[in-house]
Amino acid sequence: MTGSRSLRIAAQALVGLALLGAVGGMVSFKRYVEQSPRFCQTCHMVAPEIALWMESEHRNVRCQQCHHQTLSDGLRVLEVYVAGGKPVTHAPIDVQSCARCHATHDARWPSIADSIGHRVHAGKAKLPCTTCHGREMHFEQPARSTCQGCHSGKAMGSAHEAQHCLACHNFLSKEDVIRPQRADCLRCHRALERPVTVPATAPMQFSCSACHRPHSGDGVTACTDCHPQRELPELHGKHVKAPCSGCHAAHGWIAEKQQCFACHKNLHAHHPNEACSHCHRFASGLGKGP
């Protein structure tokens, strides 16, 4: 009797352990399917998606934190793969996947909620995050081509050919415009071997894009677009065939005596202490001479 009772207890213990092991195994397997990147690597083992993800800024983020599917969906995909089939599209990304990190105050990730780029594209245009993001994470696709998918007519000129769109268009800016402003342009151009500066005395203190068109053919607007030849005052009419930049150096614009001497080489001693414009009128109402 005692032996039978002991066998019964032992059997019950073994069944309990088996059930506990089965439950533990199911929990572990569920966690493996829903949380482990190794489950995704079962199919994507030699695909470039995994290799590129492991080199990206999201390499410490599990696949399932962005790509969501239920346990049954994951098992269905695995079943198709094991049977030799090709799983259909699965584990989509919804906007909340991105918002959980990027629309909060989590210091580990850039906050995009109030940025102009996302107010325009995600807010006003209602574009899903994956329209712009994700291609460069899992595919060897130049990031600029993502922008050109919508902005097809915005090819870059040769001077900016190597630059990404975001080098000029600051998506994370809290300003109200996404077009680059003077400070954005000068941030790069002041660091060039021949830096570009705009003197404080320059008469035109507007945005660089008033003259420069990086997305157009030659990239620079003609001066006559704003200053028609028929409206140029005084002696401008006699110099109409000369290029404007011959007298008005770019970014400073105020003509100096050195610009005059480029053509009038023999007049260095002609009133050396006076500005040419003091006598020779190039602006209406100024000067007193011919």
pLDDT tens, position by position, 16-46:
666 666 666 666 767 777 778 787 877 777 6
Amino acid 218: pLDDT: 62
Nearest CA among 130, 57, 141 for reference residue 99: 130
Report the pLDDT value the prediction gives residue 92, as an integer from 0 to 100: 77
- What average pLDDT does the segment 66-73 reach? 81
118-146 average pLDDT score? 77
Which band of pLDDT confidence, cut at 50, 70 and 90, is reported for residue 142?
A: low
Q: Provide the residue ranges of all domains of the chain, joining segments of one domain with +.
A: 27-92, 222-279
The pLDDT value given to residue 90:
77
Which residue stretches of 112-271 are H helix?
A: 116-118, 129-132, 135-138, 143-148, 182-189, 244-247, 257-261
160-176 core/surface letters (b: 16 or more CB in 10 A; e: else):
beeeebeebbbbebeee
Cα distance between residue 270 and residue 276, in whole Å: 9
- Say how far apart CA 88 and CA 289 lie, in whole Å: 84
pLDDT at 134 over 80: no
Helix (H, G, I), strand (E, B) or coil at 207: coil
For residue 220, list its beta bridge partners.
Answer: 212
194 torsion bin: left (phi>0), alpha (psi -120 to 50), beta (else): beta
Q: How far is CA 267 from the centre of its chain?
A: 52
Cβ pair 118, 171 in contact under 8 A: yes
- For 240, other C-beta atoms within 10 Å of its C-beta total 12
- Whether the CB-CB separation of 282 and 255 falls below 8 Å is answered with yes
Quote the CA–CA distance of 146 and 142 in Å, as a whole number. Answer: 7
Write out pLDDT tens, residues 81-126: 778 777 777 777 877 788 888 888 777 888 887 889 888 888 888 8
Residue 178 · residue 116 · CB < 8 Å: yes
Angle between helices 71-82 and 2-35 (to 10 degrees): 90
Indicate the DSSP class of residue 12.
Answer: H
Give CA–CA dist 78/39, Å, rounded: 9
